[in-house]
Structure 1
Amino acid sequence: MGFAEKYLSDDEQVIYHLRTHAKALILPVVVLLLLAAGIGFGLGALPDDETIGTVGRWAILVVGVVVLIGWVVWPFLAWLTTTYTVTSERLLTRRGILTRTGRDIPLRVINDVAHERNLNDRILRCGTLVVSAASEQGQVRLRDVPRVYEVKLRLSELVREAHDEDERQ
């Protein structure tokens, strides 16, 4: 899914349009596999007795659906709806399933761009991008940014260009 061009101003170009790293989906995939195995075993292990078997099957299915929604579908939708977009003029963040929240930070008000990476992040080539802006919120932490170092370098270049352009005016 690309970034909608209708949200861009004239001459504004999308540099990066990213989702959070797919590592957020590791636990939901493991839960899905264990859930499928557990439901299959549970349904197969129930006796053929009409009362116990029917109630047991429904109980297993209801619990399975609740776990599926809470531990698989919801995290997947959260991953799917969280995006970070760097344009030639702004940094845009969007997140939320039912309630969407977003933040647009003009590049000219960004003071500093840093990144943080723990061992797992270094192995998976992602990390946290820390953007300091001259605003009330101060720092914005973008978690699990893929190729965080590459994004940080390019964002720093764009910020420097935006500051240079402001000084020329």
Structure 2
Amino acid sequence: MDLHPGEQILFAGRPSWRSILGFYVLGFLGAIVVGAIVKAVDKTGSGVLAFLVIFALVLLVGFLKRIGTTYTITSERLHIRRGLLSRSVQQTKLERVQNVNTDQSLLERILQIGTVDFDTAGTDDSDFTFSGVANPDEVVAAVDRAQRLDPPAAS
């Protein structure tokens, strides 16, 4: 992300590994099932190999998905970048943010993760969210700090 003159980063983060814990658990269980099926069909021990390959793929996909998403709050804007090979970038000026909402299920509260949803003025973009962030209250506080900063002087 290229910063404007005088712009400073107040928060930079990614979804927490805890936010994809469910994906990892389902992948682990799926790998067990496939490994068991392969072992039942082929008695040569390739069931263990199938389990290891599938679970390694699950770990890799989860890791790549997590590191491929970045959330940034600066003194002027909110910025979301998704993707490693293909890329999707979403940003809005901080002055357009009207409401900041957090959402946490009971499990997410236990894992200390959550979703921060930003309502912006004059846009139909209803999906401007930082999903799976650790300590969502810190994200809300960063937006509050940014909105309280003096606006940059016009050149």
TM-score by length of 1: 0.69
Count of residues paired in the alignment: 152
Match of 1:24 in 2: 19
Report whether the alignment pairs 1:110 with 2:97: yes
Match of 1:146 in 2: 134
- Paired residue type of 1:158: A
**Alpha-carbon distance between aligned partners in 2 of 1:76 and 1:86, rounded to the nearest angstrom:** 23
Matched ranges for 1:1-169 at <5 A: 7-27=2-22, 29-30=24-25, 31=27, 35=31, 53=44, 57=46, 61=49, 65=53, 68-69=56-57, 71-139=58-126, 140-161=128-149, 165=151
Query: Once superposed, what is the RMSD of the aligned Cα atoms?
Result: 3.6
**Alpha-carbon distance between aligned partners in 1 of 2:124 and 2:69, rounded to the nearest angstrom:** 19
Contact 1:16 1:85 in 2 (8 A): yes
- Paired residue type of 1:125: Q
Name the larger-Rg structure: 1
Alpha-carbon deviation of 1:138?
A: 3.9
Contact 1:32 1:72 in 2 (8 A): no
Answer with 87-96 or 136-145: which moved more.
136-145
**Alpha-carbon distance between aligned partners in 1 of 2:30 and 2:129, rounded to the nearest angstrom:** 33
Stretches of structure 1 lacking an aligned partner (at least 5 in a row): 48-52
- Paired residue type of 1:102: V
Stretches of structure 2 lacking an aligned partner (at least 5 in a row): none
Q: 1:126 to 1:75 in 2, by over 3 A?
A: same
**Alpha-carbon distance between aligned partners in 1 of 2:48 and 2:61, rounded to the nearest angstrom:** 20
- Paired residue type of 2:95: R
SS in 2 for 1:144: strand
Using CA pairs under 8 Å that are at least 6 residues apart, name the structure with larger relative contact order, 1 or 2: 2
Q: 1:131 to 1:9 in 2, by over 3 A?
A: same
Q: Deviations over 1:38-77 (max 9, x none)?
A: 86xx78xx65xxxxx4xx74x87567545643x2222210
Contact 2:114 2:133 in 1 (8 A): yes
Alpha-carbon deviation of 1:156?
A: 2.3
